[in-house]
Amino acid sequence: MRIQIPAWLGLVCMCGLLSCGNESENPVSGPTLISLDAPDYFPNNVAMPADNPLTEQGVQLGRMLFYEKKLSADGSISCATCHQQQKAFTDGNQFSFGVHDSIGDMNAMSLSNLHWQNRFFWNGRAASLEEQAVQPIEDEREMNLPLAEAVSRLQADDQYPALFQSAFGKEEISAELIGKALAQFQRTLLSANSKFDAWIRNEVQLTPEEQLGLELFFTHPEPSLQLRGGNCGDCHLGFLTAGDPNGFTGFHNNGLDAEGNLATGLMAVTENPFDQGKFKAPGLRNIALTGPYMHDGRFQTLEEVLDHYNDHIQNSPTLDVLILEASNELPDGSNAVKLHLSEDEKKAIIAFLHTLTDEEFINNPKFSDPFN
């Protein structure tokens, strides 16, 4: 699948046609438009932002800014500090460290297949990738640099004004253009060459354990029909294994905490009590590389994650109905919410999750540090 870019955005000098220059002169062209290549089994109904199409120059500028330590107050960290390629653009910490040894209160999210998302951060506070891209720069727990100062630093740099001119047609740098460049680069972070993808393309077979795990992953259990399932695919949808991109529908209370400890998450954005304890269902591509897990990094291993869903769901008024009604055994009259998976079934689901690891993605030189 190739996502189409508006043709009118390919700016070309028409001086030759208007007799305003010598025909032998090379025309001055604008940024080189490129397409976001993605498998045909990824959704094809998501348009590229009309005001921020992908260009070679914009993506390359965004890559540089992603690794640029000038965008932090003391020059010690960049976006890539908390989003490291070898860890599928996470950092392996429960909470990420910012400048001056500050520490956040959320686990750094993995970055991949972002074009198919429309709410960002665990609580959904950013409505676009462009908006998301600049928030960590100003956040005092992260890079702690006012955007005005970020603009001044880049404007005074020997390289960046010319790079912004090449990417956006103007040497005058702005916070908006910083966000656009970062968003362009992050949209190119496609992960689509795991064993799971090769299986989708009918190039490999899964092992019997992986195949069982796949079936359990995508099956909602129905004990009355003797249909066993892990219930994972109810929130981590389709081939992207990601939350529903439509507004806030991809946010769920997955039973981490009981009532009284649910103020964070989506409710902090919507101020709606119905959203207590709801967090974004992330994409699970490369999940074996991105621990620790959950918004607060409370689980170190995938085994702990499966144990939570199987035996330790905390009930509350906003617990997701897809979890509340999921069990592989008929109700026993208790209020406990349990999946009742066997140990072999849990191991099979984890085996399937390992098929989502994309070695090409974590080693792609196009995503690496351009300063090294």
The answer to the question of residue 372 being in a domain is no
The predicted structure's pLDDT at residue 16: 34
Lowest mean pLDDT among 77-91, 185-199, 240-254: 240-254
CA distance 248 to 152: 36
Count of CA atoms in the C-beta half-sphere (13 A) of 2: 6
The answer to the question of residue 256 being in a domain is yes
The predicted structure's pLDDT at residue 246: 86
Share of the chain above pLDDT 90, in %: 85
Kindly report, residue by residue over 224-246, the tens digit of the pLDDT.
999 999 999 999 999 999 999 88
The answer to the question of residue 158 being in a domain is yes
The answer to the question of residue 182 being in a domain is yes
- Are 32 and 121 in a shared domain? yes
Name the domain boundary from 191, 219, 254. Answer: 191
C-beta of residue 245 within 8 angstroms of C-beta of residue 117: yes
The predicted structure's pLDDT at residue 274: 92
- Are 121 and 203 in a shared domain? no
To which H or E segment does residue 280 belong?
strand 279-280
Count other Cβ atoms within 10 Å, centred on residue 209: 15
Q: Look up residue 48 and give its DSSP letter.
A: P
- Give the global pTM: 0.91
- Are 37 and 184 in a shared domain? yes
3-state percent helix, strand, coil for the chain, nearest multiple of 5: 35, 5, 55
Name the pLDDT band for 264 (thresholds 50, 70, 90). Answer: confident
Where does 36-190 have alpha helices with state H? 56-66, 79-82, 129-138, 147-155, 160-168, 175-187
Mean pLDDT of the residues in the chain: 91
Name the domain boundary from 163, 191, 219. Answer: 191
* 272: containing domain: 195-356
In terms of C-beta density within 10 A (0-12 exposed, 13-18 middle, 19 or more buried), how is residue 182 classed? buried
What is the tally of structural domains in the chain? 2
- Are 321 and 181 in a shared domain? no
Share of the chain above pLDDT 70, in %: 91
Strands 279-280 and 251-252: antiparallel
- Are 224 and 158 in a shared domain? no
The answer to the question of residue 370 being in a domain is no
Name the pLDDT band for 262 (thresholds 50, 70, 90). Answer: low
The answer to the question of residue 59 being in a domain is yes
- Are 117 and 199 in a shared domain? no
CA distance 167 to 174: 13
Name the pLDDT band for 343 (thresholds 50, 70, 90). Answer: very high
Rg (CA), the chain: 23
The answer to the question of residue 361 being in a domain is no
The CATH number covering residue 278 comes to 1.10.760.10
Kindly report, residue by residue over 210-222, the tens digit of the pLDDT.
999 999 999 999 9
Name the domain boundary from 191, 216, 231. Answer: 191
- Are 46 and 12 in a shared domain? yes
- The dihedral region occupied by 286, where left means phi > 0, alpha psi between -120 and 50, and beta the remainder, is left
| pLDDT higher than threshold 70 for residue 260 | no
The answer to the question of residue 319 being in a domain is yes
The predicted structure's pLDDT at residue 22: 39
C-beta of residue 330 within 8 angstroms of C-beta of residue 357: no
- Are 167 and 259 in a shared domain? no
Widest CA span in the chain: 86
- Are 23 and 119 in a shared domain? yes
Lowest mean pLDDT among 75-79, 194-198, 243-247, 296-300: 243-247
- Are 170 and 217 in a shared domain? no
- Are 80 and 183 in a shared domain? yes
Kindly report, residue by residue over 26-57, the tens digit of the pLDDT.
445 789 999 999 999 999 989 999 999 999 99
| pLDDT higher than threshold 60 for residue 286 | yes
The predicted structure's pLDDT at residue 7: 36
Amino acid identity at 16: G
If you average pLDDT over residues 129-156, what whole number do you get? 97
C-beta of residue 278 within 8 angstroms of C-beta of residue 271: no
Across 20-138, where does the E strand assignment appear?
Answer: none
- Are 267 and 211 in a shared domain? yes
